[in-house]
Amino acid sequence: MDFSNPFGTMVPRKMNAGELARAIMQDIAAELDAVALYQAHIDATDDEQAKKVLAHARDDEKEHVGEFLALLEILDPKQAEYIKKGKVEIAELLEGK
């Protein structure tokens, strides 16, 4: 994010349905990035108070991943099918089928 641009968060129009689904995908990626970032900071300090706050924030972000994924499945039923198919394939792979 470019914090030097005061217009950086302004949008010229509303998103259509396809654009919204893609935006939610970006939001999921950002949440996962935050989880990894907070975990890296937890691993890189011995300050117990900081670890506690970072772990709390990390776990909130993990929950946000689930919330956005659930929203994506509602907004993009085709993507929901791919997610379902992937879960089935992994379950079968791990069961040795």
Residue 45 CB, nearest approach to Fe ion (Å): 21
Which segment (6-14, 17-25, 29-37, 85-93) binds Fe ion by CB under 5 A? 29-37
Distance CA 26, CA 32 (A): 10
Tokens, residue 93? 């792979």
Q: Is 62 in the site for Fe ion (CB under 5 A)?
A: no
Q: Is 61 in the site for Fe ion (CB under 5 A)?
A: yes
When binding is defined by CB under 5 A, the residue of 23, 64, 69, 83 that contacts Fe ion is: 64
Binding site for Fe ion (CB under 5 A): 31, 61, 64
